[in-house]
Structure 1
Amino acid sequence: MKLLAISDTHLETDTIPQYLAGIIEDYDLVVHAGDFSSMKFYKALESTGKLRAVHGNTDEKELQELLPEKLIFEVEGIKIGVIHEGALSIVDTTPMRYLALEMGVSVLIFGHLHRPIIEKRDVLLICPGSPTKPRMSDPCAVELIIDNGTVKANIIEISGQSCNYIDYSRKLDKDKNS
């Protein structure tokens, strides 16, 4: 089974942008780790029939009441947990590991950082970054392929606007090499 993990979309639209729609169609499930921002965008994703989601800290009140803070579900024998906030640092994922163990999951998908992380310990920790408002990264998501009790996770790039710092850094590098 193929899952697409996304987070921190922060969209106010009632349609899925083409750059996401074209990707979503290739996956069996879409896991959103919060911060849709609007009920309109949540409903657009929900209409795919593939969505599993939690609310984020910037989601409208109606979404925060509709969606759980934490979610646990199973795919082919693999327990997956989803939460938005919890990570306070991109360099120390220890609290997220403990949260995964507390939730009893093998994979924990979380958001809030807007920057991708895939870290394998005794649990698999995944922050998919943001396909629309990345920080210190390009727009991205994470694909999970679950097959025969194993999970492979890969960061996938999504077309869109990189964070300003990344664009500036690339410009400096290009100027230096010119």
Structure 2
Amino acid sequence: MRIAILSDTHVKKHSDKLFNLIDNLFRETDMIIHAGDYVSSTLLSKLIEHKNFVGVWGNNDKKCIRDLLNEKIILSLEGYKIGLCHGHGNSKSTLNTAYDKFIDDKVDIIIFGHSHQPLIVTKNKILMINPGSPSCKRHEQWYSYVILEIENKKISAQLKFF
């Protein structure tokens, strides 16, 4: 299974490049996961059109988006439990906030966003993935997303920069 992971798209206007990226990702992957802060209900509608989309809302998403998504979910994919949240909260770091949200859930992978900082690390044997942002890089040099591949109990997570 090949999964594209996005977060923090913060779509406001001029979204053609992002929509083209998403169209390409749906052609090249089995699923798209979005870890919140769409900001645009148009983007969410585009993602929901596809059966292979999963997402949560982020702290910048308005009620119309929050009404359609959960703040936190757990997926079972290819034998792995994957926690998905945006990562906002009161902890000193986004990584710790995301980790703490699933502390009692025994997940194998946690996908989160919020910081706009792409990251793939392990914390206490849990794979922690933050895709950064494909459209709102803030202080980062490049836009980014992640491709996660799970096949035959093997996991590959790769940051994609552009």
TM-score (norm 2): 0.86
* 1:8 equivalent in structure 2: 8
Deviation at 1:21, TM superposition (A): 1.9
- The alignment-based identity, stated in percent, is 31
SS in 2 for 1:102: coil
Report the AA paired with residue 99 of structure 2: R
Q: Which runs of 5+ in 1 are unaligned?
A: 159-178
TM-score (norm 1): 0.79
Selected match of 1:23 from 25, 29, 33: 25
Deviation at 1:65, TM superposition (A): 1.9
Is 1:89 the counterpart of 2:89? The answer is: no
Of Structure 1 and Structure 2, the greater helix share is in 1
- CA distance in 2 between partners of 1:37 and 1:88 (Å): 24
Q: Which has the higher contact order (CA 8 A, sep 6+)?
A: 2
* 2:156 equivalent in structure 1: 152
Aligned residues: 156
Deviation per residue, 1:149-169 (Å, 9 max, x gap): 2221110124xxxxxxxxxxx
Verify the 8 A CA contact 1:113 1:135 in the aligned structure 2: no
Instruction: After TM superposition, list the pairs within 5 Å mapping 1:124-163 onto structure 2.
Output: 124-137=127-140, 138-158=142-162
Deviation at 1:54, TM superposition (A): 0.3
SS in 2 for 1:101: coil
Which consecutive segments of 4 or more residues in structure 1 shift more than 3 A? 12-16, 93-101
- CA distance in 2 between partners of 1:25 and 1:41 (Å): 17
- In structure 2, the CA distance between the partners of 1:134 and 1:82, relative to structure 1 (3 Å rule), is same
Verify the 8 A CA contact 2:148 2:157 in the aligned structure 1: yes
SS in 1 for 2:103: helix
Q: Which runs of 5+ in 2 are unaligned?
A: none
> Larger radius of gyration, structure 1 or 2?
1
- CA distance in 1 between partners of 2:38 and 2:27 (Å): 19
- In structure 2, the CA distance between the partners of 1:52 and 1:23, relative to structure 1 (3 Å rule), is same
Instruction: After TM superposition, list the pairs within 5 Å mapping 1:12-51 onto structure 2.
Output: 12=12, 17-51=19-53
Measured on the aligned residues, the alpha-carbon RMSD in Å equals 2.0
Deviation per residue, 1:133-174 (Å, 9 max, x gap): 01332111011100122221110124xxxxxxxxxxxxxxxx
Report the AA paired with residue 144 of structure 1: L
